[in-house]
Structure 1
Amino acid sequence: MARDEVLQADVLVVGAGPVGLTLAMDLAGRGVKVAIAEIRRYAEPPNVKCNHVAARTMERFRRLGVAQKVRAAGLPPDHSNDVVFRTSVCGTELTRIPIPGRAERYTSREGPDTWWPTPEPPHRINQLFLEPILLEHAAALPGIQLLNRTQVTSFVQDAEGVEAVALDLDTGEERQIHARYLVGCDGGSSSVRKSIGAKLEGTPVIQRVQSTYIRAPGLLERIPGKPAWSYYSVNPRRCGTVFAIDGHTTWLVHNHLNVDEPEFDSIDRDWSIRQILGVDDRFEYEVISKEDWVGRRLVATRFRDRRVFIAGDAAHLWVPYAGYGMNAGIADALHLSWLLGARLQGWGEEALLAAYEAERQPITEQVSQFAMDHAQKMMKARRAVPANIEADDADGARARAEVGEEAYALNVQQFCCAGLNFGYYYEGSPIIAADGEAPPPYSMGDFTPSTVPGCRAPHFWLNDGRSLYDAFGPGYTLLRLKAEADIAPLVEAARQRRVPLQVVELAGEPAPEAYRHALLLCREDQHVAWRGDAAPADALVLIDRLRGAAG
């Protein structure tokens, strides 16, 4: 294509991080033509940020065909994913949260997160390893055009689409991009968010973290006991967190600054790292990069302006407890993808797109509050570390036992966060048919499986060995749990409106007790849209609501 020709796309995605790449992959699977503008060079390594892919994200990676590629990367197969609390990384162990490594992830039944009802448990992997897998997969898909070293500098929109101006950062040349829709996945300083007049509101600073990516070949052999994925250092001098990145020599060290340490350089970095690791001045390590960050609780005032949307860090920023920064962004992307896909395929009405902000904004508000509450409790715990926690006497032993017990109770919910994965629900949505029953409450760590419209359809394994979700179709899926229930009205209504509808027969299948109705209509994102013991009197009215045509 000549540089002066207008590039045509159905959707222009700004930003090729995990959120933007997942959005593009999912859209491409729906036959949508996608252009991705990214300021970095192709395969340029990302920052060392996210360390955790949540179960809900892995479920969708399964559907996109990348779950096994992702699970095969990261820490070595036999490397424990445990979270351990110590007086220092090389010090005395206080408590341990057991989490299986990837070699045992599907088979282990020991530990606080192995009971989860899902075909894809979570996976601990740093973004350094995750993003290249998503990039390679996306680049190979037909319908996706990657525009590296390209910055979207401006755009205008009208009733027909979005006209964007993109700058080639290497040549200085500009090009025009025309798209039906534009999605900003361009991070916390999002230019797309600013362009649509959205503002981040909430708590701008909860805590500052002096973070350092290091290479320390001699550290692993110094750590006593079974290795772990994450180490919490708890002593009166410095409290911090250390993540194993490659399982051998590279580590990410988070030094949690205190309230009286307002600047990243207000505390000696090398001294802090050594106090957290529990090593003296003779220990050698190399600083690969400084990854300092500010913990916040900010949610955008709007997620959309007509044909322009924002997702991920562009829409919300919070302290990454429970690992739900990137994962919440990917949930945004996949939610938006099926809405845009429905619209671009012609069966969804324009009003369907209003469900994105109506559903996702309240969820991000909920998750950010969970994260903020946990952050405040962790800050309080760090301020209360006993002065004698390292003492080699009975009082020191008692102090270590008490701190260990409190640390386990507080943190098992964030590292084994079933509630955040499976408990959240969409309430008051314009495209969900509520039936008067309230969704069950959930916490960070716990939830109650439910088929209340808006909740995630509870997972179970079919008699033929498939996951229930493997049987879901690309639009809506009608689950029939009683063979005598008449589904003809719903099937016909969907046919008339050209709504993709997959029928799954579940009579005789081992469905959980939560499945109390004969029929359930589920969305592709696994959330229940409607349920009943018989088809509604006017099935067309229901189908029209689900495709954004009600009223």
Structure 2
Amino acid sequence: MKPQTPIADVLIVGAGPVGLTLAMDLASRGVRVVIAETRRRGEPPSVKCNHVSARTMEQFRRLGVAQKVRLAGLPEDYPNDVVFRTTFTGQELTRIPIPSRRDRYTAEGGPDTWWPTPEPPHRINQIYLEPILLAHAAALPGVSLLDRTQITGFTQDDDGVVATALDLDDGRTFDIRCRYLVGCDGGSSTVRKIMGAKLEGTPVIQRVQSTYIRAPGLRERVPGAPAWSCYAVNPRRCGTVFAIDGQDRWLVHNHLNPDEPDFESIDRDRSIRNILGVGPDFDYEVISKEDWVGRRLVADRFRQGRVFLAGDAAHLWVPYAGYGMNAGIADAINLGWLLGACLQGWADEQVLDAYELERQPITEQVSHFAMDHAQKMIRARSAVPPDIEAPGPHGEALRAAMGQEAYELNVQQFCCAGLNFGYFYADSPLIVSDGEAPPPYTMGSFTASTVPGCRAPHFWLEDGRSVYDAFGPGYTLLRSHRQVDIEPLLQASRQAGMPLAVIDVPAAQLPEGYRHPLVLCRSDQHVVWRGEHLPGNTEALVARLCGRARALVPEALSG
């Protein structure tokens, strides 16, 4: 039986990847967490996300779950390539090589092998990812999971939130008292609706008739090497096929045309066969229908007092470059350290203002990247030559041209270093600008930089660890010249109770992006301040980083 009034520091609504990551992050900071989830314990998720980004894997590494995730999914030697064919079993147009998980750390020479990170991306479906995160989170001290529990309302005051919960098995209602509440409850978020936030943007960009199938013998019909993802391009039907288990389970996306607004008006079986390139004699089984609509919608606010939104509850867009779930996990990491700082007592509650000011502009930015790419893909599908499958030199020339176009258009989304490492936080109350603008980035490219707001460029320490492995739970100061006096900052940090780790690194070890002897970073790897020497008023800098002195002018904090 569920307790009548469970008490938590943070109530998380939703036990998907975003909510579970937030729970893991908070637990690592000694925060008591209750997770309310409507599903039964262990009930499998739908086959949605197929990709874990490098930035997410970096955080999974910090939270101690990266290797568990890396060992799951497709067989270890299964290529993670993206291939374009006339049909799934037809002629190959082009291939974007992506290493298998066995070769992920050692592969060289491809567009997806140069990642400046200790944890490159990992292709894994959510049906394998989510149970790993659930088991890891549930085993952590201070984390309680209430399954079959629906949050139906909440009230809040200056001291906390009281949420009304419904036990979906026996119909009983009870209260959950907490300091803060976070809605990680998906696109139809109840928390968002209760707090009165609205999704704004483009409600329909692309409709996708998606089907999860079991098809024994399909893999054997594919010419050439297997691939994690296959785009089928022909005049009858364009679609995408994802390998789920590397054996006989597949997810088939049928990309509907703009004049096909209704999922069931399109013959599902015929579309699947046209995408796969198989006839009526080939047998397959429909496991589930997973139809979805690609959108570009961002909530007009991510916070109401002590209540926050994260993940699909805050933003929805076409999941190109895998940045649906991964953007939500970035929300969780951002919010987790802010809530932790506040609940641990070393930061003022004003520090929480940074969440919406930082994450909402990023989701606007990234969602436009995804929408622009979706529109380019829609145009490309509408321009498939009717004789793309023709034999002889004419057909070969068409296939070669379309293959080159497909490669150039899509290599940036499957090797999306820009979206992983290029985004930055501007106009944040916790970032001390020094006047230099962050370098621009695209979906596929970026320039490593220590401009405040950017991700601290990665490098390896002499002892073989990633520099991120040495980061502390609050702030971390990277010092490349030991003669630079940092004692005033250490003293100010101690007086404020602000956790500050120091890493001394010889300047010769630092990559090109590091031009200042002192670079101060947050636990989520973003640079907050840098300088040749400490500012004259270190107490003011610490107060700013603890959310207590937003109005201080930058000149007082320059070093």
Q: When the two structures are superposed, what TM-score results if normalisation uses the length of structure 2?
A: 0.98
Counterpart in the other structure of 1:545:
544
Counterpart in the other structure of 1:250:
249
1:477-516 map, 5 Å: 477-508=476-507, 510-516=509-515
Counterpart in the other structure of 2:125:
126
Question: Residue 241 of structure 1 aligns to a residue in which SS?
Answer: strand
Contact 2:476 2:500 in 1 (8 A): yes
Counterpart in the other structure of 1:80:
79
Q: Which runs of 5+ in 1 are unaligned?
A: none
1:99-138 map, 5 Å: 99-138=98-137
- Whole-angstrom distance in 2 between the partners of 1:436 and 1:29: 35
1:19-418 map, 5 Å: 19-418=18-417
- Whole-angstrom distance in 2 between the partners of 1:281 and 1:72: 37
Question: Residue 294 of structure 2 aligns to a residue in which SS?
Answer: strand
Deviations 1:117-155 (CA, angstroms, capped at 9, x unpaired): 000000000000000000000111110010000001110
- Whole-angstrom distance in 1 between the partners of 2:223 and 2:490: 61
Contact 2:14 2:184 in 1 (8 A): yes
- Whole-angstrom distance in 2 between the partners of 1:353 and 1:516: 30
Deviations 1:475-533 (CA, angstroms, capped at 9, x unpaired): 00000011111111111111110000000001255111110001011000000000001
- Displacement of 1:82 in angstroms is 0.1
Deviations 1:64-109 (CA, angstroms, capped at 9, x unpaired): 0000000000000000000000000100000000000000000001
Q: Which runs of 4+ in 1 moved over 2 A?
A: none
Provide closer, same or farther for how the CA distance between residues 39 and 2 of structure 1 changes in structure 2, counting only shifts above 3 A: closer
Amino acid at match of 1:21: L
Amino acid at match of 2:283: E
- Whole-angstrom distance in 2 between the partners of 1:341 and 1:265: 47
Amino acid at match of 1:479: L
Deviations 1:173-195 (CA, angstroms, capped at 9, x unpaired): 11111000000000000010111
- Displacement of 1:203 in angstroms is 0.2
Contact 1:321 1:414 in 2 (8 A): yes
Contact 1:299 1:316 in 2 (8 A): yes
Counterpart in the other structure of 2:423:
424
Contact 2:84 2:232 in 1 (8 A): yes
Contact 1:86 1:92 in 2 (8 A): yes
- Whole-angstrom distance in 1 between the partners of 2:197 and 2:429: 22
Amino acid at match of 1:96: R
- Displacement of 1:362 in angstroms is 0.2
- Whole-angstrom distance in 2 between the partners of 1:154 and 1:298: 24
- Whole-angstrom distance in 2 between the partners of 1:113 and 1:432: 31
Counterpart in the other structure of 2:467:
468
- Displacement of 1:462 in angstroms is 1.1
- Displacement of 1:393 in angstroms is 1.6
Matched, 1:446 2:445: yes
Deviations 1:330-362 (CA, angstroms, capped at 9, x unpaired): 000010000000000001111100000000000
- Whole-angstrom distance in 1 between the partners of 2:134 and 2:99: 27
Contact 1:232 1:241 in 2 (8 A): yes
Contact 1:434 1:530 in 2 (8 A): yes
Contact 2:76 2:101 in 1 (8 A): yes
Question: Residue 101 of structure 2 aligns to a residue in which SS?
Answer: coil
- Whole-angstrom distance in 1 between the partners of 2:397 and 2:542: 62
- Displacement of 1:110 in angstroms is 2.4
Question: Residue 317 of structure 1 aligns to a residue in which SS?
Answer: strand
- Whole-angstrom distance in 1 between the partners of 2:148 and 2:470: 40
Percent identity between matched residues is: 73
- Whole-angstrom distance in 2 between the partners of 1:272 and 1:355: 47
- Whole-angstrom distance in 2 between the partners of 1:124 and 1:514: 29
Counterpart in the other structure of 2:434:
435
Deviations 1:354-407 (CA, angstroms, capped at 9, x unpaired): 000000000000000000000000000000001110000211111000000000
1:4-23 map, 5 Å: 5-23=4-22
- Whole-angstrom distance in 2 between the partners of 1:358 and 1:422: 19
Contact 1:463 1:509 in 2 (8 A): no
Deviations 1:26-45 (CA, angstroms, capped at 9, x unpaired): 10110000000000000100
Contact 2:459 2:510 in 1 (8 A): yes
Q: When the two structures are superposed, what TM-score results if normalisation uses the length of structure 1?
A: 0.99
Deviations 1:13-53 (CA, angstroms, capped at 9, x unpaired): 00000000010011011000000000000010000000000
Amino acid at match of 2:315: H
- Displacement of 1:2 in angstroms is 7.1
Amino acid at match of 1:94: L
Amino acid at match of 2:420: N
Question: Residue 57 of structure 1 aligns to a residue in which SS?
Answer: helix
Contact 2:242 2:251 in 1 (8 A): yes
- Whole-angstrom distance in 2 between the partners of 1:313 and 1:431: 25
- Whole-angstrom distance in 2 between the partners of 1:344 and 1:408: 48
- Whole-angstrom distance in 2 between the partners of 1:354 and 1:48: 34
The alignment yields a C-alpha RMSD, in angstroms, of 0.8
Which moved further from structure 2: 478-487 or 245-254? 478-487
Q: Which runs of 5+ in 2 are unaligned?
A: 552-559
- Whole-angstrom distance in 1 between the partners of 2:267 and 2:2: 53
Amino acid at match of 1:256: H
Question: Residue 340 of structure 2 aligns to a residue in which SS?
Answer: helix
Amino acid at match of 1:383: S
Contact 2:2 2:146 in 1 (8 A): no
Counterpart in the other structure of 1:529:
528
Amino acid at match of 1:65: G
Counterpart in the other structure of 2:557:
none
Contact 1:462 1:509 in 2 (8 A): no
- Whole-angstrom distance in 1 between the partners of 2:81 and 2:178: 45
Contact 2:50 2:322 in 1 (8 A): yes
Contact 2:54 2:120 in 1 (8 A): yes
Amino acid at match of 1:443: T
Deviations 1:142-172 (CA, angstroms, capped at 9, x unpaired): 1001000000111000000000110100011
- Whole-angstrom distance in 2 between the partners of 1:279 and 1:57: 37
Amino acid at match of 1:99: I
Contact 2:14 2:183 in 1 (8 A): yes
